[in-house]
A and B are shown apart, each in its own frame.
Chain A
Amino acid sequence: DAGVIQSPRHEVTEMGQEVTLRCKPISGHNSLFWYRQTMMRGLELLIYFNNNVPIDDSGMPEDRFSAKMPNASFSTLKIQPSEPRDSAVYFCASTPFDYNTGELFFGEGSRLTVL
């Protein structure tokens, strides 16, 4: 299996631009998570999907952030407009089990720099 695939691996953009991060979970996994990692705050859950439905988006920092999962094999995290404080590494993870019991499989991350 190819694992969780994220793109792009690196993105440098200017403040105000739209950023779209993409994730392909492992086939058959029914739960998908977007995390953000910064030096100051460590890892934080942004949003969690189960069977393509957003279950918990309370970690999404503000309206500039949105996430979609149109089908079981694809999800996007969009930031519009981007700000320098959004600079972080964004991880996507998936699990084949119920979130209460499942091991997480992480992608390699997308490193975002907003100038």
Chain B
Amino acid sequence: KNEVEQSPQNLTAQEGEFITINCSYSVGISALHWLQQHPGGGIVSLFMLSSGKKKHGRLIATINIQEKHSSLHITASHPRDSAVYICAVKNGTASKLTFGTGTRLQVTL
């Protein structure tokens, strides 16, 4: 079992839909990152959080430490949101990030 699991692996949505991507992890963590990777390959850090909730524009990230679960929500989705979304966790005692395998999102018109 991977330490970091994301669901769904693939997601297709229509423009305007509300999207949720989930991340579950099995170890204690000090921080969780949500990353976005566009088809061109570049990676952008969306959020880094260790508790509660963060919001940036149409993106919202939440984390429940007790349940070892985080969600990334996209409101009013747009085709430009099409990308791979990657969850990564930092174990409090380690210097490495452990990455999920990513969720490939396709938003169509």
Contacts and interface: CB of A to CB of B under 8 A. Distances in A.
Interface of A: 42-45, 48, 55-56, 58-59, 89, 91, 93, 99-106, 108-109, 111
A93 B41 CA distance: 14
Interface residues of B, number: 22
Interface stretch (B15-23, B58-66, B89-97): B89-97
B41 A99 contact: no
B44 A106 contact: yes
A108 B97 contact: no
Given A55-B95, A56-B96, A111 B41 contact: yes
Nearest to A99: B95
Contacts of B35: 104, 106
Contacts of B41: 89, 108-109, 111
